[in-house]
Chains A and B, each alone.
Chain A
Amino acid sequence: MGFARAATRFWKDEHVAITREEVLHVARLARLELTDDEVERLTGELSAILEAVSKVSELDLADVPPTSHPLELVNAWAEDEPHESLPLDDVFANAPAREGDLFKVPPTA
């Protein structure tokens, strides 16, 4: 695996090994058809990056609540009023394939 680890305290230096099988599993979850070369490269790169970001595990944060969003916003309401949607020709303007008022795709089975 080709890239030099940045030697710094901002990353953790602990071995996390990602296997080829795990990469293929995650690629399937992410719907990415990777080439063999990409699978090999990502196996090394993801191991190194996961090692680095595992630094967050150094902290004991059992009592700290998670932050999912930087603002303390609760329920942004909007009036429930009908309004015009995009015309269908606009909706389909960038579609790779259209049939009538439907997006056309290859069969799922």
Chain B
Amino acid sequence: MKIDTLRLTAEEALGLIERKEASGAELHRAYLDAIAERDGELHCYLRTVEAAEGEGVPIALKDVISTKGVETTAGSRILEGYVPVFDATVAARCRTAGLPTIGKTNTDEFAMGSSTENSAYGPTHNPWDPTRVPGGSGGGTAAAVSAGLAPWGLGSDTGGSIKQPSALCGNVGLRPTYGTVSRFGVVAFASSLDQIGPVAKNVRDCARLYAIVAGKDPADSTTVDVPEVVLPEGESLAGVRIGVPKEMNEAEGIEPGVTAAVQRAIELARELGAEVGECELPRSVEYGLACYYLIAPAEASSNLARYDGVRYGLRADAEGYYEMVERTRDAGFGDEPKRRIMLGTYALSAGYYDAYYGQAQKVRTLIAREHAAAFERFDVLVSPTSPTVAFRLGEKAADPLAMYLSDLLTIPSCMAGLPGLNVPCGLSEGLPVGLQLIGPQLSENTLFKAGHALERALGFDPVPERLR
């Protein structure tokens, strides 16, 4: 049978397999065919995997996830040709679950960016409008799921790299509670923030994939025990208390079309029986971005010290050792990692540590406390995921501070280690708008339930109009 991957959800693909209407290998082939047809324009994949391993639903993996025997570059020249000799725990769990890898998806270099334009291998294009960015850093996975080039995929999120691309591409992305998914074998950016999470066409698929990858891992000592995942079913929001943080919904820079779509979704939540009330997160929003852009670069400057040309990756020619290390790093890192390494090194250096890094760590405490206070009254907080719809390629590429603002609304909850779900809630200017649902730590089941009910009521069509 001819499999049309464009609309196929993971659950539907699983149905095909269970009814023996298609095998895992046939599905895998169908996705490779779709990639051959549509990925020339979009560039979601850095490389595909020809051999289908496993009899389950195929999956796309962001190229920060180590895959044994399959090149893994994190979108960087410094890792060009690097072939891991072991699987990341999440890749191993997908393998154990029988999910054949379709390929490795494009990412901003070391997951640093909000547009996927920082990939050393060229940008990914948004399937809704190829002149626009898919968001980032996980633009490859998000665009692939929207364009029917993968039924689901894994991304990584430090300050918004799963939620924001899902918002810009019109699909469902979960940044799970910090510690619920192992980071072992995933290229590190900022270790106190990095989380792996699922991207899918709908909330149930997202929950299914989360159930496969989540759980304690002896190889990552920051992982925790995870409550059993409940696949969402109902359409009611009765008894769910939804908070609308004023600052997150009225922040400077949120486009009117985004506000309108989010307001409609909030109204709908009320109609579905939710108790909706206003709340405040004043300092989380006002100071979150500045806090993040000290802590994340500081941790990145430390994590990226390992790229020294000694054990793996690029090595530049030089007479002496230190010269070799410095040349390798200059030749191998692109502009954004260099900017963040420099910023982080400065913020951690003698004389500046307390004023920058130390102060940012205290702001982080404030952010966590503000969210904890809001969750005494509410089960879920809602806001736009991204202040804007997908912007044009090149529009913000030369202005780092403008680019950093893309993550204004995703960052605060990341600082507090909270789970966040993006659910598409409508269109503005013909482009998807994302609704962000934030919950307390380990409240994924609540987010799935609320997201699923809203998704059913909203009736958003996740297939880009130009591909229908």
List the interface of chain A (C-beta within 8 A of B): 2-6, 8-12, 18, 22-23, 26-27, 29-35, 38, 42, 45-46, 48-50, 52-59, 61, 64-71, 73, 76, 78, 86, 90-91, 93-97, 103, 105-109
Nearest residue, chain B, Cβ from A35? B330
5 examples of A-B residue contacts, CB within 8 angstroms: A8-B405, A45-B400, A59-B363, A70-B178, A108-B321
Task: Indicate if the CB atoms of B324 and A106 lie closer than 8 Å.
Answer: yes
Given A10-B405, A49-B339, 8 new contacts (CB under 8 A): A8-B252, A9-B286, A61-B366, A69-B192, A93-B85, A97-B315, A106-B323, A108-B321
Complex CA–CA separation, A107 to B288 (angstroms): 45
Please name all residues of chain A whose beta carbon is closer than 8 Å to the beta carbon of B192 when the two chains form the complex.
68-70
> Per DSSP, are chain A's interface residues mostly helix, strand or loop, or mixed?
loop
By Cβ-Cβ distance, the 10 closest A-B pairs, closest first, are A70-B417, A66-B361, A94-B312, A33-B326, A96-B315, A76-B221, A61-B362, A55-B290, A90-B85, A67-B364
Asked whether B368 lies within 8 Å of A70 as measured between CB atoms, the reply is yes
Nearest residue, chain A, Cβ from B366: A64
Residues of A within 8 A of B312 (CB): 94-96
Q: In the complex, are the beta carbons of A10 and B289 less than 8 A apart?
A: yes
**A26 CA to B322 CA, complexed, in Å:** 15
Q: Which residue of A lies closest to B365 (CB)?
A: A67
The answer, yes or no, to whether B311 is at the interface (CB within 8 Å) is yes
Establish whether residues B323 and A33, one from each chain, have CB atoms under 8 Å apart when the complex forms: yes
B222 within 8 A of A: yes
| Contact A59 B283, beta carbon cutoff 8 Å | yes
Interface of B is mostly: helix
- CB closest residue in chain B, given A32: B329
Known: A42-B342, A93-B83, A106-B318. A68 touches B361 (CB 8 A): yes
Q: Is the CB of A31 within 8 A of B323?
A: no
Whether the Cβ atoms of A106 and B310 lie closer than 8 Å is no
Using Cβ atoms and an 8 Å threshold, which residues of chain B touch A27? 342
Chain B residues whose C-beta falls within 8 Å of the C-beta of A18 in the assembled complex? 346
Q: Which residue of A lies closest to B86 (CB)?
A: A86
Instruction: Of the listed stretches B16-24, B104-112, B351-359, name the one at the interface; the rest are far from the partner chain.
Output: B351-359
Contacts of B333 in A (CB 8 A): 32
Set A6, A103, A109: member contacting B401, Cβ < 8 A: A6
Chain B residues with CB under 8 Å of A3's CB are 398-402
Q: Which residues of A contact B311 (CB under 8 A)?
A: 94-95, 103
B81 CB to nearest A CB, Å: 8
Our pick among A8, A93, A94, A105 for the contact of B313 (Cβ within 8 Å) is A94
Are B287 and A31 in contact (CB-based, < 8 A)? no
For B195, give the chain A residue with the smallest CB separation. Answer: A70
B179 contacts A73, CB within 8 Å? yes
CB nearest to B352 among chain A residues: A50
**A10 in contact with B290 (CB, 8 Å):** yes
